[in-house]
Structure 1
């Protein structure tokens, strides 16, 4: 699930405020250099994580899945969403390895350099909902990073390699700047996320977003959405367009599309079951919806993200 971009950050002021709140919850979790056949394993982590490769090469993988491990190099950065089990390893661990077998690959005596990991302590509410709108995981190679993000990562790399006095304080203090710029780029690369994310900064629309995320397959009529927001239908539709730039129906479609992407890329559920959970009467109807917005079929999307 790698991305490419060449566009500058274009998040709105309201989104920037939301991202800054999230960024303030970011903290340094781990800074170490790993030798031999090392492996770092995160099993269903309860926090969002950012991993920066500061030296050498390593592999990123999802245990027990059909996703082939991906080779990473210095300056690459990985975003991993909450509860997504994953590992980083020096050698290419088999793609079908179970979580219980991974510790066999771990060498306990580690040197101190190589990977820097950050956790995000998201608060309940809009901040936590933000991550439900983002992909399960995403890798930004050095060549694909916005200039601002690339400069921050190079500073982190330099500090961990030189290890001058106070370097851990420096890379810790850079956590909020790193997460803010990374999240901006993740959002900029997916136009469809901007409507729902803009809605999170509005108290009444936020309730609607959370309800649809929790129950994407429900019959979300404009009347029902307006009732949740404690607004008349006309007032709700006007507020939705003003705040997000899209109609209520398009907003629901965007939320369902994001849930579909997550289900396709992180599970092997059948198309029929995914369609049912998203409120479509058949896999054919779901496929038409997905191709309309994503530009490719669900099967093609799943193949791209798995292989």
Structure 2
């Protein structure tokens, strides 16, 4: 299993489409900060995006997708100088069923926008999410290089319009696929992806990272990881730290503790078994490391999870 696949699988990622918007100029939608990572797909037409601290508005064209990984507030407009109303005011008291559509505007130039969200466990700090910027903008103009992404977008747009039996299940699975493909596109389009994404994208460091994720229980040494990367120990350590912002062994311990937390919450495995699965022969040493990185003991983590369900 490669690192990105393993990371995405651990995030308990899920997502949905809120609704489709059929908007006609003039219009503007002001969207508050949210605890989820919202996204918009411009299915037809164009619009403008504004965010706090953004020097200039961004024009979004048909086929573009934007994601706000940390839930930042933003404004969508038909033109940069249009007036924006809160999203709640545009939706009003209408009940949105079967993805809408939400129809709003005064009959001018039209734009169709798909609005949805990605959600994951915010109680866990994922290096991948920490590495993401406030805004990811994938342009539809790159469709020739990323036809797989546009195919997913087109499929989601079609399903939300057609509303056939099983549409909701299909759309929800496609939204999860969309997130993975957006991560791929972001890595491919960014010269030096930040944080762990840079390590995943690096031709040499990525090989060592994949090895860690494939066998997190193995007693990895720096020498062995450097060999996987085809680098000297010193060069590998420096390169990994430059890209990921942490040493290889620090990252490995973080990942092991994250995997351990997942097993504590979602399985009935014993503590010794979990300790062994993440590379610890001693339950005591595992407990010490877990408390250092997670903040509570393994037992307390399992009890808290049980109480919350």
- Checking the alignment, whether the CA contact within 8 Å between 1:237 and 1:248 is kept in structure 2 is no
* Total equivalences in the alignment: 213
Q: Which has the larger strand fraction?
A: 2
Give the deviation of 1:133 after TM superposition: 1.6
- Greater Cα radius of gyration, structure 1 or 2: 2
Give the deviation of 1:102 after TM superposition: 5.2
> Cα gap change, 1:90/1:242 in structure 2, threshold over 3 Å: closer, same or farther?
same
Give the deviation of 1:252 after TM superposition: 2.1
> Cα gap change, 1:57/1:253 in structure 2, threshold over 3 Å: closer, same or farther?
same
Check if 1:156 corresponds to 2:156. yes
> Cα gap change, 1:253/1:88 in structure 2, threshold over 3 Å: closer, same or farther?
same
Alignment partner of 1:140 out of 127, 130, 138: 138
CA distance in 2, matches of 1:195, 1:104: 38
Which residue in 1 is equivalent to 2:86?
103
CA distance in 2, matches of 1:56, 1:106: 23
Which residue in 1 is equivalent to 2:47?
58
- Checking the alignment, whether the CA contact within 8 Å between 1:18 and 1:201 is kept in structure 2 is no
Check if 1:28 corresponds to 2:16. yes
Counterparts of residues 1-307 of structure 1 (less than 5 Å): 13-22=2-11, 25-36=13-24, 37-63=26-52, 65-93=53-81, 103=86, 107-108=90-91, 110-111=102-103, 114-123=112-121, 128-145=126-143, 146-160=146-160, 162-166=161-165, 167-190=167-190, 192=193, 193-195=197-199, 199=209, 202=212, 235-236=221-222, 238-239=224-225, 242=228, 247-255=236-244
- Checking the alignment, whether the CA contact within 8 Å between 1:196 and 1:255 is kept in structure 2 is no
Give the deviation of 1:84 after TM superposition: 2.5
CA distance in 2, matches of 1:46, 1:201: 33
CA distance in 1, matches of 2:230, 2:68: 26
CA distance in 2, matches of 1:21, 1:171: 21
> Secondary structure in 2 aligned to 1:84?
coil
Q: Which runs of 5+ in 2 are unaligned?
A: 93-101, 105-110, 246-309
Give the deviation of 1:83 after TM superposition: 4.0
Q: Which runs of 5+ in 1 are unaligned?
A: 1-11, 207-229, 257-307
Superposition RMSD in Å: 4.1
CA distance in 2, matches of 1:66, 1:42: 15
